[in-house]
Amino acid sequence: MENLVYFEYAIAGIIRYWLLNSDYKQIIGDRVEISTPLNSWKKVTEGVYLYNEGIDPYSGDDFHETPLGLFIFEKMIHHIPQCIGVIFILCDLLTAHILYQTAKAFMNELYSRQTKEKSKYAKDAGSLLLKKPDLALPPVYVASAYLFNPYIIFSCVGQTTTVFANFCLALTYLSMIKGKRIICCSILALATFQSMYPATLLVPASIYLAQADEKSLDGNKPLRIRNFMTTIIVFLTALMLLLSISSQLAEISKLINTIKLLLNVPDLRPNVGLFWYFFTEMFENFRLLFICAFQINAALLYLVPLTLRLHGEPMLLAASLTALMAIFKSYPSLGDVGFYLALLPMWKHLFNYMQQGFVVGCFFLTTSVMGPIVWHLWIYSRSANANFYFGVTLAFATAQIFLVTDILFAYIKREFSLYHGMRREVNGKTTKLVLE
């Protein structure tokens, strides 16, 4: 199985290298579904050029990277410009390998937890249990889903900084499941420093890191609470350290410039998200109200209810929050969507309980094809308007919401069947659970 994965790495690397050196690179990099004001490599190069010319790149409204990001990218462009494409490819392949290792650890964890709780399961739930052979394929599927997902490939070929953001998220997942508190909090702080929304992953990370010390805690609640507090303190310390480093590189107001872009959404160029169209049509008097509503929906609204329901399954909680982040944040891209789609094979054992797979698949395929077509009709042919393109992005977001709710409901149905048995009767009649 390991040899198969390494073969996939080689094929995926060749595909990315060929596209990076083809005429399609510029076309892909200019697509609004791939590049946003926050992750565009073209904006990075413009900012670095202005910086090298002694012009403040933050003086306008076109550069939104953090001062730390500007420093790192300036070194890359100045010292190793010929290797930048290779760096993007290697980072993408390394992200896939980290997700592969994460999936392996998660499957072993699932099997270990099943072994401990097997005595609590219903007698007729044997067919639902994971077998040893079932643990081998999901990690390979995870790596494949990342390596060969067109959304991820296009994001790499377009040289978006989402490639580095996905690397940070993958490393957060791996260190989280391995119980490495300092690494997990430091990488999560770096991801939060870049785009703010990953801060929600501190909740599942805290749960996982507390579970890692559970044996030594012996169920002691005060010590468990102390464990949560330690995780939060380490995260905040890492975040303060990043702020301190950035303040040494540039004025703190430059960092605020990036945060303002995320919160206020001043750049309304179309993307695969929902913000741009609403705030194009919004009356200025109501802008603050709807900004608050949209940002709460993207960052906080689902955090508490999902945590209360999935506190025993923190990896699914983390994946759900990552998916909701990709759907509702202010400047999403297809690279964000491709990342959480690659995580889904870890719950392959839930696929039999999913009901919306065909509908979601058709939506994804249709919207992925129709997006560029409608964009061409709107921008170039002038035979369509913004409503057409927003209709596609709205359908795309709807498909993602269907997918998230379907996988969560599948988890609940399987959990119910494990503890209560396969047969369900109401008034003597056989029934089944359906999603209303």
pLDDT tens track for 261-285: 888 888 888 999 999 998 888 888 8
Residue 381 located in a structural domain = yes
Q: Supply 352's token pair.
A: 């039999």
Q: Is the pLDDT of residue 218 over 60?
A: no
Residue 352 located in a structural domain = yes
Task: Classify residue 365 by burial, with Cβ atoms within 10 Å: 0-12, 13-18, 19+.
Answer: exposed
What's the whole-model pTM score? 0.93
CA distances from 87 to 9, 24, 90, 104, 147 (A): 15, 19, 5, 26, 15
Task: Give the range among 118-127, 161-170, 310-319 with minimum mean pLDDT.
Answer: 118-127
Mean pLDDT value across residues 125-143: 89
Q: Supply 394's token pair.
A: 């709205």
Q: Is the pLDDT of residue 430 over 70?
A: no
What distance lies between CA 340 and its chain's CA centroid? 5
- Per-residue confidence (pLDDT) for residue 275, from 0 to 100: 92
CA distances from 344 to 16, 324, 359, 383 (A): 23, 14, 17, 38
Cβ-based neighbours of 378, under 8 Å, separated by 6 or more: 384, 385, 386, 388, 389
CA quadruple 211, 299, 151, 342: dihedral, nearest 10: 20
- Per-residue confidence (pLDDT) for residue 252, from 0 to 100: 72
Mean pLDDT value across residues 30-51: 91
Q: Supply 119's token pair.
A: 């005595």
Share of the chain above pLDDT 90, in %: 60
Residue pLDDT, tens place only, 45-59: 999 998 888 888 888
Helix H or strand E encompassing 425? strand 425-426
Residue 436 located in a structural domain = no
pLDDT band at 251 (very low <50, low <70, confident <90, very high): confident
Count of structural domains, the chain = 1
Residue pLDDT, tens place only, 342-355: 999 999 999 989 98
Helix H or strand E encompassing 71? helix 67-79
Mean pLDDT over the full length of the chain: 89
Q: Is the pLDDT of residue 339 over 60?
A: yes
pLDDT band at 87 (very low <50, low <70, confident <90, very high): very high
Give the Cα separation of 106 and 88 in Å (integer): 27
- Per-residue confidence (pLDDT) for residue 397, from 0 to 100: 96
Residue 435 located in a structural domain = no
Mean pLDDT value across residues 378-383: 90
Q: Supply 87's token pair.
A: 């760096």
pLDDT band at 259 (very low <50, low <70, confident <90, very high): confident
- Per-residue confidence (pLDDT) for residue 1, from 0 to 100: 65
- Per-residue confidence (pLDDT) for residue 374, from 0 to 100: 95
Indicate the angle between helix axes 303-310 and 314-328, nearest 10 degrees.
160
Q: Is the pLDDT of residue 435 over 70?
A: no
Neighbours of 215 (CB within 10 A): 8
- Per-residue confidence (pLDDT) for residue 335, from 0 to 100: 95
Tell which residue, 393, 392, 400, 398, has the closest CA to residue 341: 400
- Per-residue confidence (pLDDT) for residue 54, from 0 to 100: 85
**Are 368 and 337 in contact, with CB atoms under 8 Å apart?**
no
Residue 157 located in a structural domain = yes
**Are 80 and 257 in contact, with CB atoms under 8 Å apart?**
no
At 220, which amino acid appears? N
**Are 204 and 318 in contact, with CB atoms under 8 Å apart?**
yes
What phi, psi does 414 have (nearest 5°)? -65, -40
Give the Cα separation of 329 and 271 in Å (integer): 11
Residue 187 located in a structural domain = yes
Q: Is the pLDDT of residue 217 over 60?
A: no
Q: Is the pLDDT of residue 166 over 80?
A: yes
Structural domain containing residue 91: 2-430
